[in-house]
Amino acid sequence: MKVFLGKHLGIVLVLVMVFSCSDNDYTPIITSPVVVNADTFPFNTLTEYNFFEGAIKDQKPELGVIPYEPISTLFTDYAKKKRFVWMPEGVKATYTADNNIMNFPVGTVLIKTFYYENVQPANNTRIIETRLMLKKEDDWVFADYIWNDEQTEATKQIKTLPVKLLQQSRQVKNICNQSNRYCHRTKQPKISN
């Protein structure tokens, strides 16, 4: 009898443990994998921040990285742009009034990627540059990342890149760092046949 009760009691305990847990009892702790440290900003490569999941060229935002589109955009030498914002956990931006800049908390990162479509000879999309703006206590700090030819990484540097677009040829100089705020200087477009 003791063996019978012991066997069945063990089975009953296992069943109670299995069926007593429901989906409502489990609360996952979700944290963003993004890594931003104002003291070590900027990193040498864009992937070090973990802003994007999967292949970085796909620009699929990680948890907490939010895509946005401004109402009005500036012309940037025919380049298209993807924009994202990331803020540390537990903070929020505040709207003060029309015609005023939003009040972003310290640690906020604005991300803007410039890319071209119809790049020749393969007529594909090519990412050129990603810019980061980090909000510090009293100012914004900038970092520019230039993408490699394989579109697998963007490295912090300043470089002139030739881009041949469908029916347009131009030299793109996306240079905008702390000391030089002159962005998107180009030669006049050459229209090809």
Report if residue 134 sits inside a domain: yes
Higher pLDDT, 174 or 140: 140
Report if residue 25 sits inside a domain: no
- Mean residue pLDDT across the chain: 78
Domain carrying residue 78: 46-186
Helix then strand count (H, E) for the chain reads: 1, 11
Report if residue 132 sits inside a domain: yes
Report if residue 39 sits inside a domain: no
Q: How many domains does the chain divide into?
A: 1
Report if residue 191 sits inside a domain: no
Higher pLDDT, 189 or 115: 115
pTM value is 0.69
Predicted confidence (pLDDT) at residue 58 exceeds the cutoff of 50? yes
Q: What are the b/e assignments for 79-102, b being 16+ CB within 10 Å?
A: beebebbbbeeeeeeeeeeeeeee
> Do residues 156 and 145 lie in contact, with contact meaning Cβ atoms separated by under 8 Å?
yes
Report if residue 19 sits inside a domain: no
Count CB-CB contacts under 10 A for residue 18: 8
Task: Write the pLDDT tens digit of every residue in 96-133.
Answer: 888 888 899 999 999 999 999 988 888 889 999 999 99
- Residue 56 binned pLDDT confidence (cut-offs 50, 70, 90): very high
